[in-house]
Chain A
Amino acid sequence: MSDGAALYPQLVLEHRRNPRNRGHLATCTHAADGANPLCGDRLRIELRCEAGHIVQLRHSGEACAVAVATASMLGELVDGLDADAVDALGERFAAYIEGRGDATGLGPLAAMAGLQQHPSRRKCALLPWATLRAALAGSAGATTETESSMQASTATAPPAFRAAVAADVDAIVDLVQSAYRGEGSKQGWTTEADMLDGQRTDPAGVAALLTTPGSLVLLAESAGRLLACAHVERQGDAAYFGMFSVSPQLQGGGIGRAMLGEAERIARDEWGCREMQMTVISIRDELIAWYERRGYRRTGQYKPFPYGDERFGVPKRDDLRFELLVKVLQARS
């Protein structure tokens, strides 16, 4: 192009000047905030979904022309799609701007071809996609910058890990309850409030874990504040991971990821385990997807939910069961 602005064809500039679906929804079922701290860009996507399908989308925020135009264009494209279809389209778009695929099905986003020659600007176009997928997954936030750069710019104090002792029991019970039960848990995405009432655990249950041989309740703390906990138990060659709770206000900030990583490190390096296992309520798709992104795979092996045992809660529906997830722990080279 003679003006050299291959990244900014007329269609992109036009969408940037007059973005479609810009603004906010009065009521939304899903929302997420995306940020690329290195750019300083911020983008919010709000959705209204019906039966898992997008019926309305709005985007807002301060971002560059590439990000705004992408958000504008994809809004038209994802209308009526469910999370899987959005994922597939997002993958197709990523492949296209990396020069690995054609523009089939991408509609106006074909105008983003210039990104094939601008690797440093691809993350601008991926931010709306990452934010949309985060919204659909029930996450609070997204970024297309690396985890290390995110942590460098957002984390002031990295969490410190330690093993719980008897004096921690009450704080652990409070944290677990806050992450899974009641209205407060809805601030985070790990909530089970719509599936279960009653308790998730109790002091006797936690105290029992602390005295079980080969078992450890791991705590993440920062500045003396309990941020997250998890139970890790050695069962021969495998380790079991459970009671995983992150304070609802802090979810989506990388603490859970750090906690899971630390538990895997202990199981692998200190216990010599070859596999990490966990059970997850099988209808919790977004949670299973989170684990899958961290290398866990579904096994198709199910365990019945302990209906009738109120130590684990009072179910609001009768179709709950657990699915076993596993991850092979690679030895450190």
Chain B
Amino acid sequence: MTGQKGRAFDVARVREDFPLLARTVHGKPLVYFDSANTAQKPRAVIEAVDRYYREFNANVARAVHQLGEEATAAYESARDKLARFLGAPSREEIVLTSGTTQAINLVAYSWALPRLRAGDEILVTTMEHHANIVPWQLVCERTGARLKVAPISERGELIVDRFVDALTPSVKLAAVAHVSNVLGTINPVAELARAARKRGIPLLVDGSQAAPHVAVDLRTLGCDFYAMTGHKLFGPTGTGALWARREILREMPPFFGGGEMIREVRFDGTTFADPPHRFEAGTPNIAGFVGLGAAIDYLDGLGHAAIGAHEQALLDHLTEALRAMPGVRLFGEAAHKVPVVSFLVDGAHAHDLATLLDHEGIAVRSGHHCAHPLMQFFGVPATLRASLAFYNTHEEIERFAAALARVRTLLA
């Protein structure tokens, strides 16, 4: 599955791998610009899930029969693939979760809650998704710790100096998005990690929006926790992972230890004693992880370099098309971005435009994108967001721009 690298990215061929992209919406060919919300799935993923249920559906917990062996092997191979994909030093450092939200909550409850005291601080940034805010607020309420926020610039870039200045001795954890889900900004995570490490402050990185677009190498990134989700990475929903250094995971008590209904979930101490299994109580999303393994294989086949070049060209094209339109305000013009563009059109409400675009077959998201504080920073209640993936085309951007120009006149 090589041969793409170094050559022009054949998007037409890639699109054939995604059955859903061929459908129409309201009689028009679909333009799917909502991949930051959830990505479409390649045939390889759909077929892997289908094959699991048809051929080797069994539980993964110590089943001694052949089906159990096959299911366990497929499930655990997703852990191997994730470890390799993220550049993790060890597969034992990959905890499989239902997604980023669960991964961050695991750190909040198992790592932060027992450690934090009144007066301690957790540092986040203005551009965080609610999933990287609310778990920390809940920990703060229970410990008396405080949330501290590192600001961003009007261009939508983290102000690195201010972030570093905020790493005071009272800060016991810093948590930052690798890539902003609203602005598309790629944060300089390695630089932030170096600054945090120098001060002995662990850094958690929310990698939800990064993994689909940028090559992640945990060996060089230097953070202490990395949370990601599978469904934005072209895999099934309900899959994700937390990576943490082995020595940190060993110190963390089980998340679901001894709580009410959780006690009824099969939680076999013999099998699940050590990390990462310690944190994987109950029957996991086996089919989902089989699918996620297939998604990673698929991405490996395309190659990050080829994807990256194509996505950068899409981003430039989309940004220019929107800049050329009068009365369009862009949010987030960072130097380093993934193809995610938030914007508003003068005199038109985001939801109205999203509905009208939908009738043109174009799927974009409107709303606050689970980032209220960021909306407050820009002083807007909501934005429209076009978020692209490698399967999008320049022709789709042209259709989107033409449709936007047309439907906004309806509301003028």
**Chain B residues whose C-beta falls within 8 Å of the C-beta of A39 in the assembled complex:** 351, 367, 381-382
Name B328-363 residues within 8 Å CB distance of A. 349-352, 355-356, 359-360
Contact between chains at B349 and A64 (CB < 8 Å): yes
Closest chain-B Cβ to A68's Cβ sits at a distance in Å of 8
Residue of A8, A16, A157 near B141 (CB, 8 A) is A157
Closest chain-B Cβ to A62's Cβ sits at a distance in Å of 7
Closest chain-A Cβ to B411's Cβ sits at a distance in Å of 6
Check if B26 is an interface residue, CB within 8 A of chain A. Answer: yes
Check if B380 is an interface residue, CB within 8 A of chain A. Answer: yes
B-contact bits for A3-18, CB 8 A (1 contact / 0 none): 1111110000100100
**Chain A residues whose C-beta falls within 8 Å of the C-beta of B368 in the assembled complex:** 37-38, 40
Contact between chains at B381 and A42 (CB < 8 Å): yes
Contact between chains at A121 and B355 (CB < 8 Å): yes
Closest chain-B Cβ to A221's Cβ sits at a distance in Å of 13
Q: Given A40-B367, A153-B372, A157-B141, verify A118-B355 contact (CB < 8 Å).
A: yes
Contact between chains at A5 and B27 (CB < 8 Å): no
**Chain A residues whose C-beta falls within 8 Å of the C-beta of B8 in the assembled complex:** none
Name A29-65 residues within 8 Å CB distance of B. 37-42, 62-65
Name B23-79 residues within 8 Å CB distance of A. 26-28
Check if B375 is an interface residue, CB within 8 A of chain A. Answer: yes
Residue of A8, A16, A156 near B356 (CB, 8 A) is A8
Check if B410 is an interface residue, CB within 8 A of chain A. Answer: yes
Residue of A40, A65, A124 near B411 (CB, 8 A) is A65
**Chain A residues whose C-beta falls within 8 Å of the C-beta of B410 in the assembled complex:** 3, 5, 8, 13
> Size class of B's contact patch?
20 to 34
Output the residue of B27, B137, B381, B382 with the most chain A CB within 10 A.
B381
Distance, CA A233 to CA B220, complexed state (A):
63
Contact between chains at B355 and A40 (CB < 8 Å): no
Distance, CA A5 to CA B408, complexed state (A):
12
**Chain B residues whose C-beta falls within 8 Å of the C-beta of A16 in the assembled complex:** 411
CB-based nearest B residue for A62: B381
Name A156-191 residues within 8 Å CB distance of B. 156-157
CB-based nearest A residue for B358: A4
Residue of A3, A38, A66, A153 near B352 (CB, 8 A) is A66
Name B137-157 residues within 8 Å CB distance of A. 137, 141
**Chain A residues whose C-beta falls within 8 Å of the C-beta of B381 in the assembled complex:** 39-42, 62
**Chain B residues whose C-beta falls within 8 Å of the C-beta of A38 in the assembled complex:** 367-368
Closest chain-A Cβ to B402's Cβ sits at a distance in Å of 14
**Chain A residues whose C-beta falls within 8 Å of the C-beta of B372 in the assembled complex:** 37, 153
Name A81-97 residues within 8 Å CB distance of B. none
Distance, CA A180 to CA B27, complexed state (A):
59
Distance, CA A63 to CA B349, complexed state (A):
7
Output the residue of A5, A7, A124 with the most chain B CB within 10 A.
A5
**Chain A residues whose C-beta falls within 8 Å of the C-beta of B360 in the assembled complex:** 4
Q: Given A38-B367, A40-B375, A63-B349, verify A4-B380 contact (CB < 8 Å).
A: no
CB-based nearest A residue for B26: A4
Distance, CA A168 to CA B219, complexed state (A):
57
Closest chain-A Cβ to B364's Cβ sits at a distance in Å of 14
Distance, CA A13 to CA B141, complexed state (A):
46
Distance, CA A38 to CA B368, complexed state (A):
7
Residue of A3, A13, A62 near B359 (CB, 8 A) is A3
**Chain B residues whose C-beta falls within 8 Å of the C-beta of A7 in the assembled complex:** 355
Closest chain-A Cβ to B171's Cβ sits at a distance in Å of 21
CB-based nearest B residue for A41: B381
Q: Given A4-B26, A16-B411, verify A64-B356 contact (CB < 8 Å).
A: no
CB-based nearest B residue for A1: B359
**Chain A residues whose C-beta falls within 8 Å of the C-beta of B27 in the assembled complex:** 4
Distance, CA A116 to CA B28, complexed state (A):
21
Name B381-400 residues within 8 Å CB distance of A. 381-382
**Chain B residues whose C-beta falls within 8 Å of the C-beta of A62 in the assembled complex:** 381
**Chain B residues whose C-beta falls within 8 Å of the C-beta of A66 in the assembled complex:** 351-352
Name A201-254 residues within 8 Å CB distance of B. none
A-contact bits for B161-193, CB 8 A (1 contact / 0 none): 000000000000000000000000000000000
Contact between chains at A121 and B351 (CB < 8 Å): yes
**Chain B residues whose C-beta falls within 8 Å of the C-beta of A156 in the assembled complex:** 137
Contact between chains at B359 and A5 (CB < 8 Å): yes
Closest chain-A Cβ to B354's Cβ sits at a distance in Å of 10
Distance, CA A41 to CA B349, complexed state (A):
10
**Chain A residues whose C-beta falls within 8 Å of the C-beta of B134 in the assembled complex:** 152
**Chain B residues whose C-beta falls within 8 Å of the C-beta of A124 in the assembled complex:** 351
A-contact bits for B93-112, CB 8 A (1 contact / 0 none): 00000000000000000000
Distance, CA A121 to CA B407, complexed state (A):
18
Closest chain-B Cβ to A11's Cβ sits at a distance in Å of 13
Closest chain-B Cβ to A303's Cβ sits at a distance in Å of 42
Distance, CA A65 to CA B351, complexed state (A):
9
CB-based nearest A residue for B411: A65
Closest chain-A Cβ to B118's Cβ sits at a distance in Å of 13
Q: What are 17 of the A-B contact pairs (CB < 8 Å)?
A: A4-B28, A4-B360, A5-B359, A7-B355, A8-B355, A8-B356, A13-B411, A16-B411, A40-B368, A40-B382, A41-B381, A64-B349, A64-B351, A65-B349, A65-B411, A66-B352, A152-B134
- Please report B residues at the A interface, Cβ cutoff 8 Å: 26-28, 134, 137, 141, 349-352, 355-356, 359-360, 367-368, 372, 375, 380-382, 407, 410-411
Q: Which 3 A-B pairs have the closest CB atoms?
A: A40-B381, A4-B359, A64-B349
For the complex with contacts A5-B356, A40-B368, 11 further pairs of A-B residues with Cβ separation under 8 Å are: A7-B355, A8-B355, A13-B410, A13-B411, A16-B411, A37-B368, A39-B381, A40-B381, A42-B381, A118-B355, A124-B351
